Amino acid sequence: MAPLLEARRLAKNYGTLRAVEEVSLSLEPGEILGLLGPNGAGKTTTVSMIAGLLAPDGGEVLLMGRPPSTNGAAKRALGLVPQDLALFDGLTAEANLRLFGALYGLGGPGLDRAVKEGLAFVGLSERASSRVKSFSGGMKRRLNLAAGLLHDPSVLLLDEPTVGVDPQSRNAIFDVLEDLRSRGKAILYTTHYMEEAERLCSRIVIMDHGRVLAEGTAPELASRLPHPTRLVAELRGGGDGEGWIGEVGKLPGFSRVSIEGGRLGATVENLAEGTSALLAFIASRGLELASLETQRPDLETVFLALTGRELRDA
Ligand SMILES: Nc1ncnc2c1ncn2[C@@H]1O[C@H](COP(=O)(O)OP(=O)(O)O)[C@@H](O)[C@H]1O
Ligand SMILES: [Mg+2]
């Protein structure tokens, strides 16, 4: 059976800039797919093409196996929560949702119900009659999310929904998304926050410079790294490594050596060789080893290895 949503080799140029060169992805019901990439990677351009807001220069989007343009019902199955807030500051929360509902063709008791449920779903019922200009960034994001859900779409496209959001609203948004997933909705979650992708998404597509660099679950992506292991040794009497930390960096196969509060970290090419070299070094220096652990690489390490770029909030 065809996936619920499929993007095939999407491409988009802005003048001479190839914003999206080739992006393919697919989405099944009950799945949160992470679209992860740094600022400028081409995420918003990709989402805009999938949402039908931007015509691709190449490739195609299929919704339930068919192009959305020839399939009005399929198009209404899509909900978009854009990166730039699409709210009217001077109107109340409820009036904003009524407006969006009308745009989606809702009216009468159906619209009343959708607006009421939408406000409750994102925890804004008590602020229904407040003007949006009095809202915090997090409340605006939540209202934006409710607006994208009014017509009960089966595919939800979220473009950086937690930028500028306080932790409480962020958790509220995550709860809403997990609820939607458990009800079989398909969610495309665009973010440049590693930990969000790791926490929420069953699969992750990593993109940069308009191309997909890797795809898989977080552990799958991590296991593809050639230098996967990080050693963390807790040392007594080692202080801040003054006088010897540089030597650790020169041990064969060692990189990214760090020390903080007696915790020594190093990425090693080979676990067995790295461990024995480190233990020998610790003994030769007369340091006391309190604990030694190995860490699988996290998504951040994977991202750095793939793109050469840090993915920290810019
Ligand atoms: N309307 C536009 N006109 C020209 N360049 C654009 C436009 N929108 C985006 N870009 C450029 O396209 C690239 C991809 O942008 P975007 O899709 O917004 O990336 P992301 O969402 O991953 O940050 C960037 O280099 C950006 O500057
Ligand atoms: Mg963007």
Nearest ligand atom owner, CA of 83: 2
40 Cα–ligand 2 center, Å: 7
Specify which residues 27 forms β-bridges with.
Answer: 5
Q: Look at ligand 1, atom 16, and give the residue with the nearest C-alpha.
A: 42
Structure tokens at 164: 């500028």
DSSP strand pairing (186-191 vs 211-216): unpaired
The average pLDDT across 103-113 equals 92
**Closest of 127, 129, 122 to residue 92, by C-alpha:** 129
Nearest ligand atom owner, CA of 159: 2
Q: What is the pLDDT of residues 195-246, one digit of tens each?
A: 899 899 999 999 999 999 999 998 888 777 665 688 999 998 767 778 889 9
The average pLDDT across 71-79 equals 78
Specify which residues 35 forms β-bridges with.
Answer: 190, 205
What is the rounded CA–CA span in Å between residue 216 and residue 20? 20
What is the rounded CA–CA span in Å between residue 62 and residue 25? 11
Q: Look at ligand 1, atom 2, and give the residue with the nearest C-alpha.
A: 14
Count of other CB atoms within 10 angstroms of residue 122: 23
Residue with more model confidence, 168 or 19 = 19
Q: Look at ligand 1, atom 3, and give the residue with the nearest C-alpha.
A: 14
Structure tokens at 121: 């779903």
Q: Which residues contact 296 (CB under 8 A, 6 or more apart)?
A: 219, 222, 223, 228, 229
What's the confidence (pLDDT) of residue 228?
A: 62
Ligand 1: residues with CB < 6 A are: 14, 17, 19, 37, 39-45
What is the rounded CA–CA span in Å between residue 38 and residue 207? 8
Q: What is the pLDDT of residues 124-181, one digit of tens each?
A: 999 999 999 999 999 999 999 999 999 999 999 999 999 888 888 899 999 999 999 9
Nearest ligand atom owner, CA of 14: 1
Question: Which ranges constitute the DSSP H helices of 241-288?
Answer: 245-250, 271-284
Q: Which domains does the chain have, with CATH numbers?
A: 5-223 (3.40.50.300), 229-295 (3.30.70)
Q: Look at ligand 1, atom 18, and give the residue with the nearest C-alpha.
A: 44
Q: Look at ligand 1, atom 25, and give the residue with the nearest C-alpha.
A: 40
What's the confidence (pLDDT) of residue 276?
A: 95
Question: Which ranges constitute the DSSP H helices of the chain?
Answer: 43-50, 72-75, 93-103, 108-121, 137-149, 167-182, 194-200, 218-223, 245-250, 271-284, 299-307
Among 16, 17, 20, residue to substitute to test ligand 1 (most atoms within 8 Å of Cβ): 17
**Closest of 258, 269, 254, 256 to residue 233, by C-alpha:** 258
43 Cα–ligand 2 center, Å: 5
